[in-house]
Structure 1
Amino acid sequence: MNKTPDIRAFRPEKLFKPRNFIKPALSQKQYLEIGAGKGMHAMQFAEANPDKELIAVERTKNKFDVFAQRAKELKLDNLTPVHADALPYVVHAFPAKSLDGVFLLYPNPEPKSAAQRWLNMPFFEFLLSRMKDGASVVLASNIESYIDEAEQQARELWQLPVERKVIPKTSSRTHFEVKYLQRGELCQELVITKPEGYQTRFDY
């Protein structure tokens, strides 16, 4: 980035390793999904992209248990379900410039706590540092104000190029997406790309 973002610096040293943490063996084509839910998108992605590795993190135990069982039945060698809080997991699992892409599909919009939305968090700078140049974050939501704010933050705070897309009514990446589209709601996504030479305070 051209200047330090006007946001307090993230403190990765404050986060301990998640319980039962196993450092992953990373691939040449490594992707991350945060908030994988019951794994619908993760399993679709792994099946459609056998040459790419996906680590899919879910914090809620009952959702993770369903996901892990389904993934086990499908025997997808390129998919790793992880039960953990995403922030400490990312801090301890990924070196700088190791990710080819990140999925944030229908995250909690945090209506009462704007500071907890992904692009408003100091952690987002650390997440960017873990991505390769040219890698993208895909952020999807059915809440237009959330997408509006995230697009503005991407451009103005993080100085990143953004492409905004309407999600087709036939899309079915997550259970939320299916439900929202069946209701006739407008679902949109941002593709936020890390440019060549983009710098953060965590490029080490």
Structure 2
Amino acid sequence: MIDHTKGSFFGRRKGKPLRERQASLLETVLPNLRPDLASPPPGDIRELFPCPVKNVWLEVGFGGGEHLLHEAGRLPETGYIGVEPFVGGMAKTVAAVAEAGVQNVCLYDDDAGKLLDWLPDGSVDGVYQLYPDPWPKKRHWKRRFINPVNLDRYARVMKSGASFRFASDIDTYVDWALRHMRDHPAFEWTAERAADWKEPWRPWSGTRYEKKAIAQGRMPRYLEFRRI
């Protein structure tokens, strides 16, 4: 039996050395964008943002931040909490947020499970999980973030009717995610026709990883589920 309560759900956290400015921004800007998990969460998580927002979405594993920043710019009245433990992706995104003066983004640079356990019940209007590490070897399946324990976490923090959007170019992980999501009593698959999972949501900015996958001949799949 796979133990989903232990171990990390991500691989290496560091890659190439950061440029001096990136390292400085992580030290000076990121603390102001990061939710303080050492303190109780606000009763209304919209208070996490310095600007007024009407709803809050979560993006777990935002990579280079392309999709997160696009959505934050497109929907300024929506607050986005982005999670990314990989230092390079976080540094790039912090720099972009600082340069553009983005107000409706919070960033968390550790395991998403910790953040999910901190967030209040029924506080999130939607979740994106785009191109997570598929951990293809069977002995690493316990590291796949889509699992019963984390789906319980998602279900607890999501509002009734909230959307969960998952994208992957790895067929085995798409099958895995679909099976686990459909088996969970808190979620229902919204697809009514093949195009609903073969075509991305609109509007859609894509990600750098997605473009690379398509160029290499791997076709992404887009699953959407509703919190019952």
Same-fold status (TM-score > 0.5): yes
Q: CA deviation at 1:158?
A: 4.0
**C-alpha offsets along residues 59-92 of structure 1, whole Å, 9 cap, x if unaligned?**
0112211110011111111112222221112212
1:165 is paired with a residue whose SS is helix
Q: Which amino acid aligns with 2:156?
A: S
Query: Which residue does 1:22 correspond to in 2?
Result: 36
**C-alpha offsets along residues 126-145 of structure 1, whole Å, 9 cap, x if unaligned?**
12110000011111000112
**C-alpha offsets along residues 117-167 of structure 1, whole Å, 9 cap, x if unaligned?**
233241220121100000111110001121112112211244621135113
Q: Which amino acid aligns with 1:119?
A: I
Specify every segment of 5 or more residues in structure 1 that has no aligned partner in the other structure, as ranges: 1-6, 12-18, 196-204
- More moved, 132-141 vs 151-160: 151-160
Tell me the distance in 1 between the aligned counterparts of 2:67 and 2:199: 14
1:119 is paired with a residue whose SS is coil
Distance change (3 Å), C-alpha of 1:160 and 1:127? closer
Q: Which has the higher helix share?
A: 2
TM-score of the two chains, using structure 1 as the length reference: 0.78
TM-score of the two chains, using structure 2 as the length reference: 0.71
Cα-Cα RMSD: 2.7
Aligned length: 181
Q: Alignment partner for residue 212 of structure 2, among 179, 194, 204?
A: 179
Tell me the distance in 2 between the aligned counterparts of 1:119 and 1:69: 29
Runs of 4+ residues over 3 Å off in structure 1: 7-11
Specify every segment of 5 or more residues in structure 2 that has no aligned partner in the other structure, as ranges: 7-30, 47-53
Map 1:96-175 to 2 at 5 A: 96-112=121-137, 113-158=140-185, 160-162=187-189, 163=191, 165-167=197-199, 172-175=205-208
Tell me the distance in 1 between the aligned counterparts of 2:136 and 2:206: 23
Q: Percent identity?
A: 27
Tell me the distance in 1 between the aligned counterparts of 2:113 and 2:64: 19
